Amino acid sequence: MRRIAIALSVVLLAGIAAAGYEYKVVRDAVSAMTGHKNICGPNNVFCKGVLPKEPFNVLAIGSDSREGLTGAEAAQTGASQVSGQRSDVIKIFHVDPTKKTVAVVSIPRDTMVTLIENQGLYGTYNRINVNLGANGDPSLLVRTIEANFGIQINHVVIVSFAGLIDAVNALGGIKLQFPYPARDDYSGLRIHTAGCQNLSGVQALAVARSRHFQYYVNGVAQYDGTSDFGRIDRQNQFLRALIKSAKSKINPLTINAFLRALPKGVSTDSKLSFDDLTRLVLQFRGLDPTALNAQTLPTAGYTYNSASMLTVEQPTTQEMLVKVFGQVGTPGGLIQPTNPPPVNQSLYTPPPPVITTTTVPPTTTTTNATGTTAPTTTTTSPQHTSPWYTFNPTAC
């Protein structure tokens, strides 16, 4: 779906600079988003502090909560078929204020991890998405990521369907280039012609949610069998389009509408303050969306009782994480994992890996401005090589 939190933050930060004359409007909007003391557990105890100018990590969760949608929007997103809220895809943004860089690592929802709680309910190992509380509480997910992968989480941002729709609409839409007409009967996506399209909030949500993507070559439907991996690529292209739209449409009226829309569907931990956001806008206002370094956790797929699951590939995963986040002991770097994930179909869990710097093999999924390298097989085997996902839309 979604995982658009860092892009929303970039737009918000740009708004702070552009709408300084409406200081109270900006501060009130930020306060409405950041006043959540329990997102990282009581008093945010599970989010790690950040020293000035040091790199930090933001866990972005896309909630499928329909709260705040209009009747038509709720119907289009299947509100009658589901209740509560879930997070199918998880993104961790690594922000380096000194280098002025942003990298994002996506963890597919079917990735098997070692559970640190609820083992009586879900077993010792289960998919990572079972760690989001039924009420949307992300604190267990924060601790599970740290225990399995050694990634310290400093902030959490939760974006609902309404948050995404309202943010896009406030900017007047986003532009995506579709190489082919496309549709997804599950997400409601309908793109009738190829080319650069200006999408509304509902249309953009349908793209970001699309997991059963079809595209039409000479009128013949082709199915994207990559499932979550194709969807992750579409979400990353959405991020670039959102940032690009924000940078091209900064004006007082647009920013005012954007700021007023965000609190309806975006929540962050209270450690991410107004002053933090103000400081970041000055550092990242020149962010080039094409330079967003987006990668997907290296995994291998298998089927258990007709269910698709993914196990982490080692040492490829640890090598990629070191390259993105930094070694243990470096500012903002990894910590030694205490409960590493299983690494093969027998669900064998190795001792915590020794984190060292090595060259990342070419099997690591890499997304750039033109697309994501395509997997050699279907969704359960996410090894990625050339060619690109040429059927996916890109920011235009």
pLDDT digits (tens, 9 = 90+) for 164-183: 888 888 888 999 999 999 99
pLDDT of residue 331: 85
Confidence of residue 367 (pLDDT cuts 50, 70, 90): very low
pLDDT of residue 174: 94
Mean per-residue pLDDT, 307-317: 89
Q: What is the CATH number of the domain that holds 328?
A: 3.40.630.190
Confidence of residue 87 (pLDDT cuts 50, 70, 90): low
Q: Is the pLDDT of residue 396 over 80?
A: yes
- Asked whether 292 and 102 are in contact (CB, 8 A), the reply is yes
Mean per-residue pLDDT, 252-263: 63
Number of structural domains in the chain: 1
pLDDT digits (tens, 9 = 90+) for 197-231: 999 999 999 999 899 999 999 999 999 988 888 99
Residues constituting the chain: 396
User: 221 or 369: which carries more pLDDT confidence?
Assistant: 221
- Under the phi-then-psi rule, with left for phi > 0, alpha for psi from -120 to 50, and beta for the rest, what region is 206? alpha
DSSP 8-state secondary structure symbol assigned to residue 193:
S
The residues facing 157 across adjacent strands are: 60, 268
Domain extent, residue 81, equals: 5-395
- Under the phi-then-psi rule, with left for phi > 0, alpha for psi from -120 to 50, and beta for the rest, what region is 84? left
Mean pLDDT for the chain overall: 77
- 3-class SS of residue 383: coil
* b (16+ CB within 10 A) / e for 196-233: ebebebbbbbbbbbbbbbbbbeeeeeeebebbbbbbbb
Question: Who's near 30: CB < 8 A, 6+ residues apart?
Answer: 12, 273, 274, 277
Mean per-residue pLDDT, 43-62: 86
Strand order in the sheet with 189-191: 189-191, 182-184, 214-217, 220-223
Mean per-residue pLDDT, 73-87: 50
CA dihedral for 316, 318, 320, 323, sign (positive or negative): negative
pLDDT of residue 385: 34
The residues facing 159 across adjacent strands are: 62, 266
User: 353 or 214: which carries more pLDDT confidence?
Assistant: 214
pLDDT digits (tens, 9 = 90+) for 103-162: 999 999 889 999 999 999 999 999 998 888 767 788 999 999 999 999 999 999 888 887
Q: Is the pLDDT of residue 322 over 60?
A: yes
Question: Amino acid identity of 105?
Answer: V
pLDDT of residue 198: 96
